[in-house]
Amino acid sequence: MAPQDIAQLLVRVGAGDKAALDEMTPLVYEELRRLAQRLLAVERPDHTLQPTALVHEAYLRLVDQRSVDWRNRAHFLGVAATMMRRVLINHAKARNAAKREGFANAVTLDDAFGIFSTPAIDVLALNHSLEELSKLDPQQGKVVELRYFGGLSIEETAECLGISPATVKREWGTARLWLLEHMEGNPQS
């Protein structure tokens, strides 16, 4: 699916076509996944001045689409964040696989994605801890997914979950501490 198709579907979603949203969700995810794989498989378009990170394009189109109406947008942001989380996890797994094969220093796979460089944090470990947190506190888990993996602001997160920005702040602030402790292998669970 070309980015134009996504754009077209988005226009339909914007016009209130609920079916279009359902239709595009799997498509967009598939597209993101396919692009991610392609990028990993070296076929990075080699023209510098061409948008290379199509994954970003697709995602950004989704998230920053202003024409989508309020309710749909909230739904949308949620779907998009989940998709992005999966893309990131798959990417991290692929990179670890590459490392295991002894090519750790050979190449910055990160570069194919750009945005994933300097991973100060182990995404897989974070994901694992987040799964645990979600069992304990589903809403808080969702806040982290939207904020960290979806890149959403406090306000957008609040909008998406239908809670107040103050609550989002509290959930996010305390979740960070819990996650860090859990990741450091000192879970109080």
Partner 1 sequence: MTAARWGEVKAILASLLETDPGQRANEMERLCGSDSELRASVESLLAREQKAGALLDSVAGPVAQMRAEAAVPESIGPYKVVRQIGRGGMGVVYLGERADGQYRKQVAIKLITAAHPDKQTSRRFERERQILAQLEHPGIARLLDGGEAAGGQLYFIMEYVEGLPLLEYCSRDQLGVKGRLALFLQIADAVAYAHRRLIVHRDLKPGNVLVTAEGQAKLLDFGLGQMLDAQPGDEITQAGPAPLTPAYASPEQIRGEPYTVSGDVYSLGVILFELLAGRRPYPATTSYLDLARAICDREVPPLASAIDATIPNAALLRRELRGDLETIVAKALDKDPRRRYVTVDEFAADLRRYEEGRPVVARKPTVRYRAARLVARHRIAAPASALALLLILGFAGFGWWEARRAERRFNQVRGLAHSVMFDLYDAIVPLPGSTAARALLARRAIDYLENLSQEAGGNRSLQHEVALGYRRIGEVEGDLAESSLGKVPAALENLRKSAAILERLAASAPDDKDLGHDLVRAEVDVARAYGEAGQFDAGIAQAKRAVAMAASAAGPQSKDAVALSDVESALSAQADLFSGQKRYSEAVALRERVRELAVRVASLRQANPEAKRSVAVAAKRLGALYGVMGRTDDALREYGTARLIDEERCARNPRDMRAKIDLSFDYSDLGWFAGVRNRPEEALGFHRKALELRLQASQADPQDFRAAGGVAASMRRIGLVYRAMGKLREALDELEQAAARYSDMTHRPAADWETVEKLAQTEDDIGNTWSDLAKAAGASAAQRRKTYLAAAGAYEQARGLMASLREQGKLPKSDWPEIDGLAEKAEKARRAGQ
Query: If you search the block for the tokens 């990993």, which residue do you land on?
Result: 40
Choose, by CB under 8 A, the member of 5, 30, 69, 111 that binds partner 1: 111
User: Smallest gap, in angstroms, from Cβ of residue 11 to partner 1?
Assistant: 19
Report how many residues bind partner 1 under the rule CB under 8 A: 67
Residues 165 and 125: their CA atoms lie apart, in Å, by 27
Between the alpha carbon of residue 6 and those of residues 10, 35, 48, 91, 100, the distances in Å are 6, 14, 24, 22, 36
Q: Whose CA is closest to 113, among 44, 28, 30?
A: 44
Of 16 and 153, which has the nearer Cβ to partner 1? Answer: 153
Q: Whose CA is closest to 171, among 148, 140, 126, 145?
A: 140
Q: Name the amino acid, one letter, at 158.
A: A
Choose, by CB under 8 A, the member of 18, 27, 121, 155 that binds partner 1: 121
Of 26 and 119, which has the nearer Cβ to partner 1? Answer: 119
82 near partner 1 (CB under 8 A): no
Alpha-helix runs per DSSP H in 101-153: 109-113, 123-136, 138-144
User: Smallest gap, in angstroms, from Cβ of residue 101 to partner 1?
Assistant: 6
Choose, by CB under 8 A, the member of 40, 62, 77, 161 that binds partner 1: 40
Question: How many CA atoms within 13 Å lie on the side-chain side of 83?
Answer: 26
- 118 three-state secondary structure: coil
105 near partner 1 (CB under 8 A): yes
4 near partner 1 (CB under 8 A): no
Choose, by CB under 8 A, the member of 10, 32, 150, 160 that binds partner 1: 150
Choose, by CB under 8 A, the member of 66, 101, 162, 185 that binds partner 1: 101
Rg of the chain in Å (alpha carbons) = 18
Binding site for partner 1 (CB under 8 A): 40-53, 56, 59-60, 63-64, 84, 88, 98, 101, 103, 105-121, 126, 136-137, 140, 147-153, 170, 172-174, 176-181, 184, 186-189
